[in-house]
Amino acid sequence: MTSGNLFILSAPSGAGKSSLISALLKQDAERAMQVSVSTTTRDPRPGEENGVHYHFVNKASFEQQIKDGVFYEYAEVFGNYYGTSATAIDEQLAQGIDVFLDIDWQGAQQVRMKKPDVTTIFIAPPSRKELENRLKNRGQDSDDVIAGRMAQAQSECSHYQEFDYIIVNDDFDTALNDLMTIVNNQRLKRSQQAIKHQDLFDDLLAND
């Protein structure tokens, strides 16, 4: 069995990466793919379920897990912790599942040091104005929070050169197609195909 591919998707809040990941999983449902469920100390938003969208824990529990070395990566964003379980990721990859991490540039740096072959993708909004409009139209945050997210967006975008791929999410269908192309490129790499088609190549190279 070939191992799964590990992907990191990073973007400013409101750039649309979560929507792109969801659409990708629906479009390519036949392939084993999974979005990693992160652990966080922030409060659930309307409609979010524990264990589905995030593992919601208190700060003391999260900090204990840091001491126990549970996380592949973790970071503090907007006053809350976010982290990714190393054990869960490795188990999914070993089962041939493609795993997507929805994390920021700080987390991407940590994972990259431990998994150099990870594929990193940055999702950019088409403009600053459009990003601000998307944040306002969500209706989830106050003006002060939106202002903070806009400031954070500039920090996020300043790290775009650290990523393997960049997708500008202007037209959603185009961005989704770009994401699918990147995923398929990774699946077609020699290291993946050589294992998947080992019997084929053994036959082609056999001495009659």
Question: pLDDT by residue (tens digit) across 14-50?
Answer: 888 889 999 999 987 778 899 999 899 999 999 999 9
- Asked if 21 and 102 count as a contact pair (C-beta separation under 8 A), the reply is yes
For the chain, the domains span 6-36+97-204
* E-strand stretches of the chain: 6-10, 33-35, 39-40, 55-56, 71-77, 80-85, 98-102, 119-124, 165-168
pTM over 0.75: yes
Question: pLDDT by residue (tens digit) across 53-81?
Answer: 899 999 999 999 999 988 999 988 789 99
SS (H, E, C) 79-140: CEEEEEEHHHHHHHHHCCCEEEEECCHHHHHHHHHHCCCCEEEEEECCCHHHHHHHHHHHCC
CA atoms within 13 A on the CB side of 132: 10
What values do phi and psi take at 87, rounded to 5?
Answer: -60, -45
pLDDT at 208: 72
Here the tokens at position 83 are 């982290």
What values do phi and psi take at 47, rounded to 5?
Answer: 90, -10
Superfamily of domain 6-36+97-204: P-loop containing nucleotide triphosphate hydrolases (3.40.50.300)
Mean predicted confidence (pLDDT) in 102-130: 90
The C-alpha atoms of residue 98 and residue 139 are separated, in whole angstroms, by: 32
The C-alpha atoms of residue 91 and residue 86 are separated, in whole angstroms, by: 9
pLDDT at 1: 67
- Asked if 36 and 102 count as a contact pair (C-beta separation under 8 A), the reply is yes
The C-alpha atoms of residue 150 and residue 71 are separated, in whole angstroms, by: 28
Most confident of 5-9, 25-29, 101-105, 131-135: 5-9
